[in-house]
Amino acid sequence: MFWKFDWHTTSRVDKLLEKEAVPLAELMDEEDMSQECKAPNHKLLDLLCQQQCMEELGKLISQELPVAMEEKVCFK
């Protein structure tokens, strides 16, 4: 009867992807985001490859960070 129980849990990223128009900032706040990118999560990869997300990621990478920003937030 072990197979009767569903031990597979869905990640928070998958739950967010079920929503319509999830903001990129909300996805980036998730701790397991990097793991989900490494895993074959096609929904997430499809979203990240969209033109709007690519532009937003480019802005996040290229902008200079404020000096007073917390280190935890800065390297996120």
27-48 pLDDT, tens per residue? 888 888 888 888 888 999 999 9
Query: In terms of pLDDT, which residue wins out, 72 or 35?
Result: 35
Instruction: Return the pLDDT at 32.
Output: 85
Residue 67: is its pLDDT beyond 70? yes
Looking at residue 55, its pLDDT comes to 94
Residue pair 48/57 in contact (Cβ under 8 Å)? The answer is yes
Per-residue confidence (pLDDT) for residue 8, from 0 to 100: 57
- What pLDDT shows up at residue 53? 92
Burial 4-14 (b: 16+ CB within 10 A, else e): eeeeeeebebe
Instruction: Supply the DSSP string of 5-74, one letter for each residue.
Output: S------HHHHHHTSSS--HHHHHT-TTHHHHHHTT-HHHHHHHTSHHHHHHHHHHHHSPPPTTS-HHHH
| Whole-structure pTM value | 0.69
